[in-house]
Every structure is written in C-alpha cells, then in structure tokens.
Amino acid sequence: MPQQPRPADGGDVRCTRCGAAVEGTRHTRSGWTVGHYVLHTGSTEEATVRRRDDEAPMVYRRLVDQAEIVSCPACYASPEMRRLWLRFGEQEKAA
C-alpha cells in the first residue's frame, strides 16, 4: 500500500473519516497545535525469530498489511472515534 503524503512534505492529507484536509503540527515558542493524528495499524501474523543458534526463539506479531488511519482534530475529539482509538490493540491483549 502506498504511503499517504505528509503535510510536512507539502502533500494533501485528508481525514479518513470525514475527508477534511489536515495540516501538520504547528510549533510556537510556547507550545504547539496538533494538525492531525495518525494511527499506524494493519493485519498481523505470528512470527518467530532466533537471534543466535543457542537462544530460545522469540515470538512476535509481524505487520503483514500496513494501514494508516488519519484523523483531523475534530474527528479525533468525537466520542465515537476516541473509543475506536482507545480500543486499538485490545484484541491482542484478550488473546
């Protein structure tokens, strides 16, 4: 899947939910204003790696299909979207 352009690169990035154009984070001397939020996610599968021949294998989750979910500040603030973002990763914890 091709990477979505980033606002810092001058690309046109849009919210996945509402389609609004989003900006990059703006920094000032006293703080910052968040322009958008990005969740890096996707399908995973279990994989095993062994660093040396004498070590036990390590099991981890390998990203198979990458997906980026972009959220504008307005959508991110909505209770429905916050619940989705806060639940990210719960399926793996329950397993």
pLDDT digits (tens, 9 = 90+) for 16-74: 889 999 988 888 899 988 889 888 888 889 999 988 878 888 999 898 998 888 889 99
Task: Answer whether 42's CB lies under 8 Å from 66's CB.
Answer: yes
Q: Is residue 87 part of a domain?
A: yes
Q: Is residue 56 part of a domain?
A: no
Q: Is residue 33 part of a domain?
A: yes
Q: Is residue 14 part of a domain?
A: yes
Domain with 18, as residue range(s), is: 10-41+67-94
Q: Is residue 46 part of a domain?
A: no
Q: Is residue 60 part of a domain?
A: no
Tell me the pTM.
0.59
* Burial category of 81 from C-beta neighbours within 10 Å (exposed 0-12, middle 13-18, buried 19 and up): buried
pLDDT digits (tens, 9 = 90+) for 37-50: 888 888 889 999 98
* DSSP 8-state assignment for residue 92: H
